[in-house]
Amino acid sequence: MYGAAQASPGPLFTFAAYLGAVREPEPNGTIGAVIGLAWIFLPGFLLLIGVLPFWDAFRTRPRAQAAMRVANAAVVGILGAALYDPVWTSAIFTSRDFALALVGFVLLTVWKAPPWIVVCLLAAGGTALATL
């Protein structure tokens, strides 16, 4: 289930499209969904447009580089914690589960397989393990 959730956009963006579709149901909600998605992405795009002209000058400063290293380390720590709980604690119960996760990791990092193929293969593998 977690793999399916990771294959789709974040819940906030998905919910924005849903709200847009519900708000503008005629003729089929598509226009409302597109408007909802456009509005949820707009602040990020505006921020990008505003910061981009100054980015090259900013990132060459030693203090800015140090701040980016700290932010990077913090994000890695948060992602590691999120990987352990709830993902690891709710998905890895047996050595077969661990082996399947390890296969996915190797496919992504060593063989550089496309993520969509890894998601499909691991979904099939997880289904096969569940039926055994």
Element (H, E) at 79: helix 62-82
Tens digit of pLDDT for each residue in 116-126? 999 999 999 99
What pTM, to 2 d.p., does this model score? Answer: 0.57
Instruction: Return d(Cα 13, Cα 81) in angstroms, integer.
Output: 23
The four Cα atoms 49, 6, 8, 44 give a dihedral, to 10 degrees, of -10
Q: How confident is the model at residue 28 (pLDDT cuts 50, 70, 90)?
A: confident
Q: What is the pLDDT of residue 8?
A: 64
Q: What is the pLDDT of residue 11?
A: 80
DSSP state for residue 29 in the 8-state scheme: S
Tens digit of pLDDT for each residue in 42-96? 998 999 999 999 999 999 999 999 999 999 999 999 989 988 998 899 989 999 9
Q: What is the pLDDT of residue 96?
A: 95
Task: Provide the mean pLDDT of the chain.
Answer: 90
Element (H, E) at 49: helix 30-59
Q: What is the pLDDT of residue 6?
A: 59
Q: How confident is the model at residue 4 (pLDDT cuts 50, 70, 90)?
A: low
